[in-house]
Each structure stands twice: as structure tokens, then as C-alpha cells.
Structure 1
Amino acid sequence: MYTVVAGIDESTDRAREIATEIVDIPMDASQVRVTLLHDFQDNPEGATVEQVASVRRAREILEEAGIEVSLSESSGRPADAILELADEEDADMIVVAGRKRTPTGKVLFGSVTQSVILGTERPVLVCSGREADD
């Protein structure tokens, strides 16, 4: 079984991009297991990962392709949560979607993608962070 951990934020466009890229991996879908992780930065209503629209969309795309999907949630630092889950699951790959940020923005606000890439020896697939035109 090929195990993938995918970090899903609030963006449905980025979630769709991540799920589509995973589906396009040239492997038998029945041999792929994906855990979608959403890190809650602010969750005053106590929402669960199942209630996040972007997670639901990614899950739909993956399940339609015949890929086994599980969900995970955390709160705190997204990059740390992704790396910890990848270690726990002994993931074969981590998938994230980048966002366009200026170099100054990365310094001031950090970059989850950059932190994940630098924080692991596992392969990391970085999908386009582009927003849909519609």
C-alpha cells in the first residue's frame, strides 16, 4: 500500500488541485491510501474535519477514483502537524499546495510548504496553489 499524507487548508481550489494530482499518480488506485489533514488555526465553533468544505471536496475526488481516504485534524502549526502525521503513518509521500507569496511575505508569515520540504526526508509533491478562474 502506498501511503500519502496531504495537507488541506481552507481553499477548495487548492484541495481540488491536490486531489487531482494524487489521482494522476501512475499507480493502481486500489493500492493508494491517502490521509487528508486539516489544521485548524481558529476554530471557535468547534468544527470537525468532516465539516470543512475543502476536505470534503478532496475526499470526493479521491474516493471517486477508488482511493482509500481517511481524515485527520489538528490545531497549531500546520507544517509540524503534517510532518508528525507523515512520521506516524510512515508515509511514502507528502502532498501540499503552494501559495504565491513574495519573499518578504514568506519571511514575515512563514511558509508551510517550505517548512514541510525542509523538515522531511520523504518525497514532497508540491501542487500549484493557483486559484480557479471561475
Structure 2
Amino acid sequence: MAIAVGFTSKPEGHAALHTAVSEARLRDLSVVAVVPDDGDLEQARALLAESGVPHEVRPCQELQPLADALLELAETSTVEFIVIGLRRRTPVGKLLLGSNAQRILLDAPCPVVAVKARPDA
């Protein structure tokens, strides 16, 4: 079993990865990080190697949105849950959720943990 996480080099991506690693340690699971930008692959690999948890880093297929990649992973493997990071939004922006986050929350075949970056991150 594994925890799937969407990783980007933005603060919300780091918050998601941190949460996934913490939960993996608690539950004795591995982490599968899905990375949409090839420029972030090495950073994800380095952070996960530093964490010491069993892990795998997967790039998104060419032109595949992060939501599609995470949902496909959850549907085709033994993912216990998905961790995603959410951006902070203005009061008006809070009425709408990002399309990737909304799609994952609504369509995932497993539980989804949504985290926000700390305000000082």
C-alpha cells in the first residue's frame, strides 16, 4: 500500500509532500509522488530520499494534467489515500476550488487529504 501525493515546488506542494511523508511513517507505507513539471523531479527525489521513507517519483505523462495522473494511479494501484496541496485564496476565490483539486476531491476512488501551506511558507 502507498500514499499518492501531487508534488510541485510551490509551498502547497511542499506541504502535501510533508504530510504524505508524515502519514507514511505513521502507517508504515510508501509514498508515490506524482510530479507534473519535469523541472521538479529532482527536487521531489531529493526530498523523499532525505525522508527515509520508501518512495517512487513518477512524472506525469506528456500533457497529462496532475489530476488525471493522480486519479489514474489511485484507480490502477493500491493507494490508501491521496494528498494534495491547496493554494490560499481571497474571500471571493474561496467560493471556487482549483479545477485540479476539485476534480481529485470529487472523482478519487479513495480518501483525499487536502492541506494548505503555512502562511509563512
Same fold at TM > 0.5: yes
Shift of 1:124: 0.8
Does residue 33 of structure 1 match 2:21?
Answer: no
CA RMSD of aligned residues (A): 2.5
Does residue 16 of structure 1 match 2:23?
Answer: no
Shift of 1:95: 0.9
In structure 1, what is the Cα distance between the partners aligned to 2:26 and 2:94?
Answer: 36
Query: Residues 77-121 of structure 1, C-alpha deviation per residue, up to 9 Å, x if partnerless?
Result: 321221011212221111110113415664xxx521111010023
* TM-score normalised by structure 2 residue count: 0.75
Q: Choose the corresponding residue for 1:69, options 34, 55, 60.
A: 55
Q: How many residues align?
A: 115
In structure 2, what is the Cα distance between the partners aligned to 1:10 and 1:16?
Answer: 7
Specify the structure having the higher radius of gyration (Cα): 1
Aligned counterpart, 2:100: 112
Aligned counterpart, 1:95: 83
Aligned counterpart, 1:46: none
Shift of 1:63: 2.4
Instruction: Sort the Cα spacing of 1:103 and 1:21 in 2 relative to 1 into closer, same or farther, 3 A.
Output: closer
Aligned counterpart, 2:45: 59
Query: Residues 5-50 of structure 1, C-alpha deviation per residue, up to 9 Å, x if partnerless?
Result: 1112342x2232122212322526xx3211111225xxxxxxxx3x
